[in-house]
Amino acid sequence: MSKLSKRFQAAAAAFDRQKRYDLDEAIAIVKNFTSKSDETVEIAINLGINPKHADQMVRGAVVLPNGTGKVNRVLVFAKGDKEREALDAGADFAGGDELVEKIKNGWFEFDTCIATPNMMVTVGKIGKLLGPRGLMPNPKVGTVTMDVGQAVKAAKAGKIEFRAEKAGIVHAGVGKRSFEVNALSENVHALMDALIKLKPVTAKGTYVKTVTVSTTHSPGVRVDALGMVAVAASSH
């Protein structure tokens, strides 16, 4: 087991590891952790689901109201008018076969991949390269669409994709440590709202079991999950 850094140990000693904090309070604690860089603030939400069952897989996307704090390079597979529409909307790259060849040769200078439905046969040729990197376009998260202009704008505005891992945990970056507390809180609540809307009908018992906030290299701060669910329910 690797030795914990002095910075990590100091951060862990600055709060009660067992307490479940109000979301804003938890974010404030995380923001106070010292760091030489503007780390990403991350959230881990443990859901009461069994992802091994197809009808309990939770996957989707949400536009964070205050963005992610990161530059999102967008690639669009499209031809003709749709290629122009993508570029006009702010896509960094757009095209077809020429992009497929670049990717086959090891080029991955993009963060989000969008495609029109008629281009999915072409994209399928590099599915084994895009899939493991989480870059394969998927209609369930809005990245296979004819409305490429809107999809590009959403991606540039702070759209993130999420999916439950094998243990039923959703991990997501919700902004940077330099963000104001309320901005990070709004982003977290937007993600929580999206997750609650996607609750599988077959999921039994407590849906949102635990919520933890951290930065890239900090200890996790537990959040009052019941309180967050109550806020989400009141907004619907």
Question: For every one of its 236 residues, what pLDDT tens digit does the chain have, with 9 covering 90 and above?
Answer: 455 566 666 666 667 778 999 999 999 999 888 777 889 999 999 999 988 888 898 989 999 999 999 889 999 999 999 999 999 999 999 999 999 999 999 999 999 999 999 999 999 999 999 999 989 999 988 999 999 999 999 999 989 989 898 889 999 999 999 999 999 999 999 999 999 999 999 888 899 999 999 988 888 899 998 888 887 777 66
pTM: 0.82
Dump the DSSP string for the chain: -PPPPHHHHHHHTTS-TT--B-HHHHHHHHHTS--SS-PEEEEEEEES--TTSGGG--EEEEE-TT--SS---EEEE--THHHHHHHHTT-SEEESHHHHHHHHTT----SEEEE-GGGHHHHHTTHHHHGGGT----GGGT-B-S-HHHHHHHHHHTEEEEE--TTSEEEEEEEETTS-HHHHHHHHHHHHHHHHHT--TT--S-SEEEEEEEETTS--EEE-HHHHHHHHHHT-
Q: Which domains does the chain have, with CATH numbers?
A: 14-68+159-234 (3.30.190.20), 74-157 (3.40.50.790)
